[in-house]
Amino acid sequence: MYPRALDLRALVEHRSVFLLGPRQTDFVVGDDVAIEVKASPRVGPGNLKGLRALSEEVRLRRRVVVSTESRARTTDEGVLVLPVAEFFERLWNDQLLPG
């Protein structure tokens, strides 16, 4: 287990998080943030299917993919792609999720 995964576990304990296996979206935080985790060095359109499907059902303020990419970027669809370390840095500094 990635040592910092415990921080995500703490997030799960303190916020409303639902696992959405059938929709292939890993986490929904509250009612408006979806987080997908991919063990991929490059996130492409095929990796965004679950987020797209969920976005058609629920109005999301933020869609995030955590991956092994080396740099943060935003896709043409407005999905924030973050390297693992940057995801946790933003999470710890309250820069990722709405209050």
pLDDT of residue 7: 53
- Within a 10 A sphere around the Cβ of 44, how many other Cβ atoms? 9
Per-residue pLDDT of the chain (99 residues; tens, 9 = 90+): 444 444 555 554 444 444 445 556 788 887 788 899 999 899 999 899 888 888 888 888 999 999 999 999 999 999 999 999 999 899 888 888 776
Helix axes 84-92, 5-14, angle to 10 degrees: 40
Q: What is the DSSP string of 47-91?
A: GGHHHHHHHHHS--SEEEEEES-SS-EE-TT--EEEEHHHHHHHH
pLDDT of residue 96: 84
